[in-house]
Amino acid sequence: AHTIARIRDPEYANELTQLKADLDLDMIINPEHAVAGEIARLIEFPPAANVEVFKKGRVVLLEMRLTENMSIVNKSLKDITEKGIKGILIGGVLRGDDVIIPKGDFVLLPGDKIFIVGRNSRIVQFCKHIGVYMPKIKSVMIMGGGRIAYYLAKYLQEMEIKVKIIEKNKDRCLELSELLPKALIINGDGSDETILNSENLDSMGAFVAITDRDEDNIIAALLAKQYGVKKSIAKISRENFFDAIMNLGIDNIVSPKQITANFILSYVRGLKNAMGNPVDVLYKIMENKAEAIEFTAGKTTKFLDVPLKNLKLKEGILIAAIIRKNDIIIPHGSDVIKEKDNVILFVKDKELTDLNDIV
């Protein structure tokens, strides 16, 4: 039997590895901590519709919707690469309901959702190049003072971002002010526009609505956009709301259920493959129609040191990046996979449990 435990208390947040060993658990997940990490990444990359990380943040997978004014629109991927955008890969495109693993002659159109892989610094350069770069967010207002708010404030303060939390419960405000001495904690109802206004919502770089009420989160996040806040994020628990909300104008919707499911799916998929090349990380992308997976190449990998151009990859599979020690390789035909490399794949219409399954 395998045991997956959910740990929510902030007191244990920094001791998960030790807890896992002490209690002989197979996997530990802290959903609130995971959601806070996701929101922090969205704030770090303001143009993104979604951000995932591989190899502890060294490689970023960023989702972005293309608009008419972006310099890469109506150009082929080959043209874009030749124009000097190096070190990133556009590995997947969602066009309407179609999931596309694009080749060099593929032309990007307005409305496409693209999925880009690269090192942090390269992704920032890419955003600048295409004309969507937004300056670093310096201040964030958080509506709701629960566990996610606590973890998020810690992340943001590490990023040297000023944090203001609005929370209804007075006792919780006192608790937060002790836990987060550098944050400004306001006792008030964040769903009340007069309070948001009096706390200078219009001067904030980002607004995050993470109360337990989906409706309040949606309305407040929409209000923030009306006030001119560049980045507005809402937590939504009921997934039947998703499709209706996506077109309202909120920049990002985060789903604790989806984030938790990704963690557990990575683990379960890895279990199926306990003997081979383990699944390190797995993300459902392109509205759950495709996956981005990180494997570690091992002794059992059948194609070590074989040039990628000599591999007959199955349809719907793309090798997006290879991480070798300190190097991040956006691969070409002459590149090879070596033992202990981390290999990031884009996969459509398949459930891979082993790196060997790509050929």
Q: What is the pLDDT of residues 40-81, one digit of tens each?
A: 999 999 888 888 888 877 899 999 999 998 989 999 999 888
Q: Are residues 142 and 210 in the same domain?
A: yes
Q: Are residues 157 and 188 in the same domain?
A: yes
Task: Look at the chain and report how many structural domains it folds into.
Answer: 2
DSSP 71-105: TTTT-BHHHHHHTT--SEEEEEEEETTEEE---TT
Q: Are residues 275 and 227 in the same domain?
A: no
pLDDT at residue 1 in the model: 60
pTM to 2 decimal places: 0.85
Interval 116-172: pLDDT, tens: 999 988 988 888 888 887 788 999 999 999 999 999 999 999 999 999 999 999 999
Q: Are residues 289 and 303 in the same domain?
A: yes
Domain-located, residue 307? yes
pLDDT at residue 139 in the model: 98
Q: Are residues 242 and 277 in the same domain?
A: no
Q: Are residues 237 and 282 in the same domain?
A: no
Other CB atoms within 10 A of residue 338 CB: 14
Q: Is 144 helix (H, G, I), strand (E, B) or coil?
A: coil
Task: Tell me: pLDDT of 112 over 60.
Answer: yes
Last residue of a domain, one of 215, 234, 258: 258
Domain-located, residue 217? yes
Residue 3: pLDDT band (50, 70, 90) is confident
Task: Give the span between the Cα atoms of 59 and 324, in whole angstroms.
Answer: 12
CATH number of the structural domain spanning residue 336: 3.30.70.1450
Interval 26-50: pLDDT, tens: 667 888 999 999 999 999 998 888 8
Domain-located, residue 5? no
CA distances from 331 to 16, 89, 181, 318 (A): 35, 9, 46, 10
Q: Are residues 194 and 291 in the same domain?
A: no
Task: Tell me: pLDDT of 276 over 60.
Answer: no
pLDDT at residue 107 in the model: 96
CATH number of the structural domain spanning residue 170: 3.40.50.720
Reduce the secondary structure of 171-184 to three states and give it as a string: HHHHHHHHHCCCCE
pLDDT at residue 240 in the model: 74
pLDDT, greater one: 173 or 280? 173
Q: Are residues 270 and 211 in the same domain?
A: no
Domain-located, residue 19? no
Residue 271: pLDDT band (50, 70, 90) is low
pLDDT at residue 302 in the model: 94
Q: Are residues 145 and 239 in the same domain?
A: yes
Domain-located, residue 86? no
Q: Are residues 181 and 201 in the same domain?
A: yes
Q: Are residues 145 and 249 in the same domain?
A: yes
Q: Are residues 232 and 269 in the same domain?
A: no
Last residue of a domain, one of 233, 258, 283: 258
Interval 218-267: pLDDT, tens: 999 999 999 999 999 999 988 777 667 777 889 999 999 888 887 787 77
Residue 351: pLDDT band (50, 70, 90) is confident
Range of weakest confidence among 98-102, 121-125, 327-331: 121-125
pLDDT at residue 317 in the model: 93
Last residue of a domain, one of 221, 243, 258: 258
Domain-located, residue 79? no
Domain-located, residue 52? no
b/e code 113-137 from CB counts within 10 Å (16+ = b): bbbbbbbbebbbbbbebbebeeeeb
Domain-located, residue 308? yes
Task: Give the span between the Cα atoms of 62 and 115, in whole angstroms.
Answer: 6
Domain carrying residue 331: 264-358
C-alpha triplet 236, 161, 51: angle, nearest 5°: 45
Q: Which two tokens stand for residue 296?
A: 């570690």
